[in-house]
Chain A
Amino acid sequence: MKEISELDFPEDLYYTEEHEWARVTDGNVTIGISDYAQDQLGDVVFVEMPASGDQFKKGDAFGTVESVKAVSELYMPIDGEVIRVNQTLEDAPELLNQSPYADGWILEIKPGDASQLETILNRDAYLKMLKES
């Protein structure tokens, strides 16, 4: 596994304590897992995702990511309705390792209350949490 300093954490994202990221694009929010999360998991071999139309509250488990040795739940950073899931992950789960912030995105949601993003971590706060853990 890598040192924190070797990992990538883009400035323009929000992060959760459970290592999901959220990005706002044209009023919708894209969700994935952080570079730290994919490095801790190791080779991702399976992703279980919800269906379009599913509704979630902030903190709800919405799916799972599995590596060879570990199963991790995924949690919603904010309230919202799923409008798109990244189906390519079904046949190419390794995208979560190779490109966690771009090709390895997991969901796009229509946020219930986008102001909830201000209650989760920004890059600096997330990095501080990682360094202190």
Chain B
Amino acid sequence: MSNPTRTPFYGEHLALKADMVEFGGWQMPIMYPDGIVQEHLNTRLGAGLFDVSHMGRFIIRGKDGLAFLQHVLTNNAAALDIYRVGAQYTLIPTETGGAVDDAYLYRFRQDQFLLVVNAANRKKDWQHFRQFMNDFHGLELLDHTAEMAMLSLQGPNSREILHNIISHGQLPEPRRNAVSTVSISGTEVLLACTGYTGEPIGFELFMERAHGPGIWRRLLNEGATPVGLGARDTLRLEAGLPLYGHELGVDTDGGEIPILSCPTAKPAVSFSPLKGDFVGKQALKNQFKDLERIINHDCQNLAHLPRIIRPIALIERGVARPGSMVLKEGNPVGVITSGTMAPMWLMEGDGAESTMTDNHGLRAVALGYVDSHVQMDNPLHVEIRGKRIAATVVPFHLRSDMPPYARPILHSHMV
């Protein structure tokens, strides 16, 4: 990919003085002049606006469209309807239960589906799907990446901001994965309550390419702030969401990571009779049985799920990075797959009553691929440049279940 492609928002990024990088064959903003830390904090407090047009967008339609999706994806595509739940997280499985990619499936219209895949995997996914197409009739698979623009608006103010610019139609129900179709500036915009930040309130927007920049500017005028790929990564990591190439795909030794090693993948794997047989079903069933045993603390001979992805907090000062070794009682038990320092607003008060203060701090957050017998609160160490830093497995780094704020859960040493 010698010539990186530009999204419809390329000119907007330059006008905002973004630092541009090549990512998955696209020229994308890594950050704007505010910097990654401030962009992360802006999203958690107000509303962050992300250009995610680099992601692959496939349209699937025709007589066998649903049957095809049931065969090549892990989730139950038949559970989607445009009135109640119009979107779902799903995976593109290999025959052996690993991930070709992870994806989001949308149904904005009764007669077609939209599948959003990772930018860097778009061509691979397309080739993978083509192997199965001959078994289906009247199936249309179209790559609409270039025709559509895609934005993500995330954070506590995002609902109000969108409300202010909609001329026709209703916002989706305030529920994760709800969808609706509205009109903004005279153009049709598809809205979904989805995102990759852990924010309890957030939307993804799809529109015709040419109308993208006008809508981008209206969202900024209403108070949204632009966020680049740098903060997109710290936000998803704080939320414990997997990134293909780190927590999904192949591990650092080149071995396939079983899909159900990622706890967030569990609700995306369906054994519903409606799905029938699908790619990797038997391997995923075996993984599922091992996962049930791990949940019941029966961790002997887990042939199908020897390691799982866990949030890891550093108790002592330090920053875990991908590739850092995880040790228990001095023995290697896994590896860090993603890790950074993430900023956070300090909170005041308890639970759902807690509110943000004007102060912020930093804390080390990480995800690790560790032996399945490692338990929550086991004393661990992460090896960073030859030093062993005290660490532990934690349930979450962030809570997303009490709108309007995503609330940090502190286990790490804080700066």
Contact = CB atoms under 8 A, between A and B. Distances in A.
B234 interface: yes
Given A1-B19, A68-B340, A69-B230, A43 B37 contact: yes
Contacts of B321: 71
Contacts of B340: 45, 68-69
Given A66-B341, A68-B340, A45 B362 contact: yes
Contacts of A66: 319, 341
A90 B415 contact: yes
Secondary structure dominating the interface of B: mixed
B124 interface: no
B317 A68 contact: no
B361 to A, nearest CB: 9
Contact of A69 (B36, B317, B318): B36
A45 B341 contact: yes
Contact of B36 (A68, A90, A92): A68
A89 to B, nearest CB: 10
B385 interface: yes
B385 A64 contact: yes
A68 B234 contact: yes
Interface string A88-115: 0011110000000000000000000000
Contact of B319 (A43, A45, A90): A45
A1 B31 CA distance: 9
Contacts of B19: 1
Contact of B318 (A1, A46, A93): A46
B213 interface: no
Nearest to B38: A43
A46 B36 contact: no
Contacts of B343: 45
Interface residues of A, number: 16
> Interface size bucket, B side?
10 to 19
B37 A68 contact: yes
A42 interface: yes
A42 B29 CA distance: 14
Interface string A60-73: 00001011110100
Contacts, number: 46
Given A42-B35, A42-B36, A43-B37, A68 B341 contact: yes
Contacts of B37: 43, 45, 68
Interface in A36-54: 42-43, 45-46, 48
Interface in A1-41: 1
A46 B35 contact: no
A46 B319 contact: yes
A64 B321 CA distance: 14
Contacts of A42: 31, 35-36, 230
Interface in B221-248: 230, 234
Nearest to B364: A46
Contacts of A48: 318, 385
A22 B271 CA distance: 65
A38 to B, nearest CB: 11
A45 B385 contact: no
Nearest to B414: A91
Contacts of A68: 36-37, 230, 234, 340-341
Interface string B1-42: 000000000000000000100000000001100011110000
Contacts of A92: 415
A93 B317 CA distance: 12
Contact of A46 (B30, B230, B234, B341): B341
Nearest to B30: A69
Contact of A93 (B36, B38, B415): B415
A90 to B, nearest CB: 7
A43 B35 contact: yes
A104 B205 CA distance: 42
A90 B341 contact: no
B415 A91 contact: yes
Contacts of A46: 317-319, 341, 362, 415
A93 B361 CA distance: 11
B383 to A, nearest CB: 14
Most buried by B among A45, A64, A71, A92: A45
B225 to A, nearest CB: 16
Most buried by A among B318, B319, B321: B319
Nearest to A94: B37
Given A1-B19, A43-B38, A67-B36, 17 more contacts: A42-B35, A42-B36, A43-B36, A43-B37, A45-B37, A45-B319, A48-B318, A48-B385, A66-B319, A68-B37, A68-B234, A69-B36, A71-B319, A90-B317, A91-B415, A92-B415, A93-B362
Interface of B: 19, 30-31, 35-38, 230, 234, 317-319, 321, 340-341, 343, 362, 385, 415
A-B pairs with the 7 shortest C-beta distances? A45-B341, A43-B37, A68-B36, A43-B35, A46-B319, A45-B362, A66-B319
8 contacts: A43-B35, A45-B343, A46-B318, A48-B318, A68-B37, A68-B340, A68-B341, A69-B36
